[in-house]
Homo-oligomer: A and B are copies of this chain.
Amino acid sequence: MPVTVLLVDDEPLVRTGLRAVLEAQPDIEVVGEAADGAAVIPLVRRLRPDVVAMDVRMPLLDGIDATRALLRSVDAPPKILVVTTFENDEYVYGALRAGADGFLLKRARPAEIVHAVRLVAEGESLLFPASVRRLAAEYGNGGGNRAARAVLERARLTEREREVLRLMARGLTNAEIAARLVVGTETVKSHVSAVLAKLGARDRTQAVIAAYESGFVAPG
């Protein structure tokens, strides 16, 4: 079964572009479009999309309020991918706090857009380093912290995973973590993989960066 997507953006051009990119994939199907957040809820009820690609800035009801409303009033709500041109990141953080599952830059390359849709569809609430790094690059380490915090809040790590992340952030290897927790190294690898997946980190280094940037661990 293909991943079904609902596009919500006030600019027809963007909707068309996203549709073109996504429909080029055999496993992704765009099942509907909306020009404003106000139209989202009934559409979601009718179409039951897996993913809603939602612009943050829209005239009547913006992406933040639409996200909040959607999660409150629809059961088994779709995954919400916040789409932004990135001029105003306040909206993005607001949307993530409201419960969005990831965010996406409009200027991202098609392959990245497709990747993001598949990821959130699979239940990953990530897009951390790629986008946050881009954030940091453009804002000169200005907005990374808040974005990271919002993402980490949504990562929903289990207690064991947080424990493992803490030890990773102290520079321990998998074997050392295993010794410390009195479990097998394979077990630690499982937890580490889960942490990486949930944080959207590519390797333990990025996970540690995420831990620092989010305030999960603090210097000193």
Which A residues contact B (CB, under 8 angstroms)?
A: 123-126, 129, 133, 136, 141, 144-146, 148, 168-171, 173, 176, 179-180, 201-206, 208-209, 212-215, 218-220
Contacts and interface: CB of A to CB of B under 8 A. Distances in A.
A123 B179 CA distance: 10
Contacts of A169: 209
5 contacts: A145-B219, A168-B205, A173-B202, A205-B205, A215-B219
Nearest to A125: B171
Contact of A220 (B202, B203, B213): B213
Contacts of A220: 133, 136, 141, 144-146, 213
What 10 pairs across the A-B complex have the smallest Cβ distances? A145-B220, A171-B206, A212-B212, A212-B219, A213-B219, A205-B205, A126-B171, A171-B209, A129-B171, A204-B205
Nearest to A130: B171
Nearest to A124: B170
A153 to B, nearest CB: 15
A120 to B, nearest CB: 13
Nearest to A209: B171
Given A123-B176, A145-B220, A220-B141, A171 B215 contact: no
A201 B172 CA distance: 11
Contacts of A136: 170, 220
A141 B217 CA distance: 10
B213 A133 contact: no
A38 to B, nearest CB: 31
Contacts of A213: 219-220
Given A123-B180, A133-B220, A171-B206, 6 more contacts: A136-B170, A171-B201, A171-B202, A171-B203, A171-B205, A219-B219
Nearest to A206: B171
A136 B171 CA distance: 12
